[in-house]
Chains A and B, each alone.
Chain A
């Protein structure tokens, strides 16, 4: 995965297969979650928002960690591919964070009676959105893309402190948001017929991130390496 042309060729080969697998996971997850799973005994059908809300929220944290780690790798070893993956992660991470907030709001209204409350979980997730937007803005503001990558990596690493805060917010503070149902050490307090679609959707969302970040990274590499031979070959083949 070292050199940009190798990265470009390799990802070009695997992208169609990833897309197929992603579509399959999401299709079966949606069928299981919207059709097969029974209504919740407390929340009725409204709980079905879980199948977009929770995978989005999980991905909002996961993508941030990937962005910060790749940023650090770029910072330390000056690996171009890592720099490009870091910055390409920001828009999709921001999208997942936005989706977690919006679907949470659409779930909160019928369940809590409010679109928004300033509680620990919601507020720390909103800060995460601002961190992503900060990364995107900072990168766009600096002309030299390698300098920009370094600046963005430092911002991402500083913001990393927010990740455990989001995760533990429902345990550290009294909040309206429900506690963890899946990621706890004893058995998850959710029935298998509801859990399986959730895991399928989570897998599908993770693959979706991989697909989206690879497509972005390929474009970013072409722009950065516009004077190189491998981009010339790409233009000739077009």
Chain B
């Protein structure tokens, strides 16, 4: 079997590769977005704590 045949999928290439492509994107987002969210959360917490400390030392 050559690559052209493989991509052609007996005429169903469009339906198959679109399915797999969308699945890949959706699953990848389910890893990337939570990791970014967690990084952002840690950064926010660190900033918040720093501000609180500065306010305490001002008093």
Contacts and interface: CB of A to CB of B under 8 A. Distances in A.
Interface of A: 34-35, 39, 44-46, 48-49, 52-53, 56, 91-92, 95, 98-99, 102-103, 106-107, 109-110, 208, 211-212, 215-216, 218-219, 222-223, 226, 231-232, 234-235, 238
B20 A95 contact: no
Q: Is the interface of A mostly helix, strand, loop or mixed?
A: helix
A232 B41 CA distance: 13
Given A39-B10, A102-B19, A215 B26 contact: no
Contact of A44 (B11, B42, B49): B11
Secondary structure at the B interface, as helix, strand, loop or mixed, is helix
Nearest to A39: B10
Interface string B12-44: 100110111011001101110011011001100
Nearest to A211: B31
Contact of A46 (B12, B27, B48): B12
Nearest to A40: B10
Contact of B30 (A34, A35, A95, A107): A95
Nearest to B20: A52
Contact of A106 (B1, B19, B29, B37): B19
Interface residues of B, number: 28
A219 B38 CA distance: 5
Contact of A212 (B9, B12, B31): B31
Nearest to B35: A215
A53 B18 CA distance: 12
A49 B15 contact: yes
B34 A216 contact: yes
A208 B38 CA distance: 18
Nearest to B19: A103
Nearest to A51: B20
B9 A45 contact: yes
B15 to A, nearest CB: 5
Contacts of A235: 42, 45-46, 49
